[in-house]
Every structure is written in C-alpha cells, then in structure tokens.
A and B are shown apart, each in its own frame.
Chain A
Amino acid sequence: MSTKKRDYSIFEKFNFERKPVGVKYSLTKPEGIEQTDKSLALCELFAEAHTGKPFYVTEENVQCGEQVLGIVEYPPMMYSGALGHMYSMFKDAGANRRIYDYVPHLPKDSIKYISHATVDQMNFDPDLLIITANTKQAEIILRASSFSDGKMWNFKGTTCLACAWIYAHPYLAGEMNATVSGLGFSMKAREVLPDGLFVITFPFDHITSLMENLEEMEWEPYWFNLGREGFIAENKKRAGELAQKLDQPITDYHE
C-alpha cells in the first residue's frame, strides 16, 4: 500500500461532526492497521470509521454489499430481482432485476482488503474520500468540486445498493458522486446516519484538485449574506459594471 503523501489538513477547517473517511482497496494485507472484529454492511463501514481507529475488513467482516466489492458474486435471489418486491423496494422482480444491468461493482477478485480511516488518521493516500456533510458544508464541497473545471454535478443512485454508488461508482468512473442519507433503503433501515446528510465520495484522482480548490476559493462569498433584495441590487450593480467594462449590453444578468 502506498504511504501517505498528501496534506489533508484543509478539511479540519470544516469542523465536521463526522470526519471524512479515506478508503483504500488492496490485494495485499494493509500494514499498520488492525482488522476489525465486527460484521458490518458495506454501507456501515465509513460510519464505523467515524467513531474510532482505522481498520480494515476482508470478506468475513462484510455482512452485506460484498458483491459490490467483487469479493463474491450476486446470488440468484438478488440477481433475479426476487428480493426487491419483498422489501417493498420495487413493484416486481422485473423492475428490481433491471438495476443489475447498471449498478457498478469492482471486478471479481480484484481486491481482498478494504481499509478505512478518518482523514486525520490515514497512513495512506485513499482510493476514495467519503465526506459526510451538512448542507452548508456540502455547498462548499460541491462548489469546490467544479471550481476549476466547470464540471457538472451528476449524482447517481438506486433505491437499493446505495453502497455501490458510494464505494464502486466513483472509483470505477473517476467521478465524484453524492447521495443524501435517508434515500438509500437499507442504509435507512440500518440507521447508518441521521436523515438529510450529504454523503459525497471523491475518487483518488479528484482529491488533489478538490483540496487545491478549497485552498483557493472563498468559502462564504459576501453574496450569501446580502438578503434577497440586497442580492438583486448588488447583482444589478456589479453585473452592470462588468458589462460596461466588457463593452457588452447591460441586461438583467443572473447566474
């Protein structure tokens, strides 16, 4: 496992109630981290990391969602869609079955060990950084995600297998993803998090630019504190000045 090279201290500024969690996948046993003795669902692992020391899991510790990690294959009961109706997730098996055509999972047997550590305890540069944030924090994080490249936020998810969109999709697609706690069926049933928190996952190749953007951008632009009428008036004034400078027609600009 590669050792930690990056400085993640920028995240301390958020004062998160639940610290961001780094996740590392490996085929070799992680060094300097203990295996947990618990049995947890994949969607519970990052929440478990919020509460204590770094740990790693193998197949024996993952009680649900292990298919997403490519550790085992989906059993026919899942793959057929038969379970979805029982859980009241889907109208029928056909609707449930369809999701298996696009729900992402890691290639079979491509990893054996999954390490988790909060951002202040990581001894590795993570494959995924999972941030649990309130709306104010999420606004800053999401704005930072596109601050330098203008990329669209594109949140993908399904009623079931929320873990796939947190642990597999960002890693495989190289895209940030986000969900809101309370939307994932089993995560809600397992009471992983209180409802209404953003769970935002960044893959390894987006973490550096996220942190650079957080360093550079204004976290709370004065625009947020003008009130509605103040915002409209200030917008008109500043946009008018800019239009004049750019020799553009002065119209009602608004972003």
Chain B
Amino acid sequence: MASNSQDYSALDKFNFERKPVGVKFMITRPEGIKHIDKELNMCEMLKEAQENDAFYVAPDDWICVGVEQMILGLEDPEPVLVSGIFGGEEGLFKGDNACRAMYEYLPTLPKGSVQYVAFASIDKLTFEPDVLIMTASLPQAQTLLRSINYSTGKPFVSRATPVVACSWIFVYPVVSGELNYFITGLGMGMQALNIFPPGLFIISVPFQILPTMLDNVKDMNYSPELIPGPGGVAHRKRVNQFKEEMKKKIAQ
C-alpha cells in the first residue's frame, strides 16, 4: 500500500465539522490499521471514520442487503436484487422493471479486484486514498465543487440514484475519474439509517484529480459564510464596467 505523501493542508481553511475521509480499495490486507469491530453499512462507515480510528473492512464484514459486495466486485449480483423484484415490491420503484433498469447504471469495481477496503479520516491517513470524501456545508461545497472547474473548465455534475448511494459515493468517482457529489437526505437507505442531517454535500474526489483539487483550493478564496452580494443594480454596473474595460483591452 502506497504510504501517504499527499499534503492536505490546503483543506485546513474549511474547518470541517465532519472530517474528510480517505478510502482505499485493496487486494491485500492493510497493515497498521485495525479490523472493523462493528456491524455497519458502507454508508455508515463514512461517519465511523470521521469520528473514530482508521479501520479496514474484510470480505465477510459487509452486512447491507448484498449491494456492497456487488459494487465492490466481491460477488456476482444476487438475482433478487438485479431482477428488480426487491426494489419493485418494496415500493421504491413503480415496478420491478424500473428497479432492474437501475442496475444498468450502477458503477461497480471489476470482479475480484478488491478484497479489503480501508477508511481513515484525513488526520489519520497512512495511505494514499483512492477517493477522498468530504462532508460539506453549502458554503464549503460552493468552493469545493468549483475546485476542478477552476483550472479545467469542466462542469460539476452529480450522478446518483435514490438507492445504492454507496456506489455513487465510493465507486463511481474511482471508475470514472470524476468528482461526484450527493446531498444527504436524497438517499433512501442513508436516510433510513439516520447517518447525517439532510442538506449536507458529500463530495467524492478520486485519486486521479485529487492533486488538481488540492492545488486549486490553495489558490481559491473561501468564506465560511455565503456573503450577500451587492444586488442586481450594483452587480450589473460592476460587470458591465469590467466588460467595457476588457473590450478596450482586446481592441488594442
């Protein structure tokens, strides 16, 4: 396991109420980290890592309905899940067909590629995470969601489904290489488990773009509160004046 050489101090200015958490997918048992000693769903492990010591999860520790083993590529999907009958009959979807169709979209890790998953809050990271997950307020999210766009111009996009939120928080960013975010209260399983208050942004940044995010956050201004703007008239006056100045500049 690659040791942690990344400097995360650029995130200090956010003073997060809930610590960012690094997650690593591995085929070997991690060293120097304790084995999880509680029964938790994967989405609950985020909170567990925020509040306690680093831990790892082994193949026999997953206790959710079976989707965790599926999205991690540990086991083939169970017919009762992928047929859609489970979600359909429970009333989460109009019918089995809609629930079945959802499985076409759910991102998964390649079969057999992962055996262990390590979790650690940012101050306890001993490894380079595959994905860094931040639980953010709206003002924090405003800066964090811009942090990739800031140097690349790429849009920030949220991809999600009402169930199996874990696949969009933990797996999708890693397999796509894209930042993803999820707003607490939208995931039905997570809401049922009472993990977080509604309205928080769970922002997942995969290893592919983590250096870009950290570099940009260093550069970007952040205010812990959304400062009221100058209002329509003053704002339009300012931007129009700026535009005129730029027009003069490019006419030279």
* Contact, CB under 8 Å: B252 / A246: no
A29 to B212, CA, bound (A): 29
* Contact, CB under 8 Å: B28 / A246: yes
Can you list 13 A-B pairs with a CB-CB distance of less than 8 A? A28-B252, A148-B207, A148-B208, A150-B177, A150-B208, A151-B177, A174-B152, A174-B154, A205-B151, A205-B152, A245-B28, A246-B28, A248-B27
* Contact, CB under 8 Å: B27 / A246: yes
A248 to B249, CA, bound (A): 64
Beyond A148-B208, A149-B177, A246-B27, is A174–B153 a contact (Cβ under 8 Å)?
Answer: yes
A209 interface residue per 8 A CB criterion: yes
Residues on the B chain within 8 Å of A148, using CB: 207-208
Residues on the B chain within 8 Å of A27, using CB: 250
Nearest-CB residue, chain B, relative to A112? B250
A149 to B212, CA, bound (A): 12
* Contact, CB under 8 Å: B154 / A28: no
User: A131: shortest Cβ distance to chain B, in Å?
Assistant: 20
Among A86-116, those with CB < 8 Å from B are 112
Determine chain B's interface SS by DSSP, over half rule: loop
Among A208-255, those with CB < 8 Å from B are 209, 212, 245-246, 248
Name B residues whose Cβ lies closer than 8 Å to a Cβ of A: 27-28, 151-154, 177, 207-208, 211-212, 249-250, 252
Q: Which of A28, A150, A212, A245 contacts B249 (CB 8 A)?
A: A28
Q: A149-B208, A245-B28 are in contact. List 19 more A-B contacts (CB 8 A).
A: A27-B250, A28-B250, A28-B252, A29-B252, A112-B250, A148-B207, A148-B208, A149-B177, A150-B177, A150-B208, A151-B177, A174-B152, A174-B153, A174-B154, A205-B152, A209-B212, A212-B211, A246-B27, A246-B28
Residues on the B chain within 8 Å of A209, using CB: 211-212
Name A residues whose Cβ lies closer than 8 Å to a Cβ of B: 27-29, 112, 148-151, 174, 205, 209, 212, 245-246, 248
Which 4 pairs of residues, A with B, have the shortest CB-CB distance?
A: A149-B208, A27-B250, A205-B152, A174-B152
User: B180: shortest Cβ distance to chain A, in Å?
Assistant: 16
Residues on the B chain within 8 Å of A29, using CB: 252
Nearest-CB residue, chain A, relative to B153? A174
Residues on the A chain within 8 Å of B153, using CB: 174
Residues on the A chain within 8 Å of B28, using CB: 245-246
A212 to B224, CA, bound (A): 33
Residues on the B chain within 8 Å of A245, using CB: 28
* Contact, CB under 8 Å: B250 / A205: no
User: B194: shortest Cβ distance to chain A, in Å?
Assistant: 36
User: B150: shortest Cβ distance to chain A, in Å?
Assistant: 10
Residues on the B chain within 8 Å of A28, using CB: 249-250, 252
User: A196: shortest Cβ distance to chain B, in Å?
Assistant: 32
A157 to B211, CA, bound (A): 30
User: B54: shortest Cβ distance to chain A, in Å?
Assistant: 22
A174 to B155, CA, bound (A): 12
A209 to B212, CA, bound (A): 9
Nearest-CB residue, chain B, relative to A206? B152
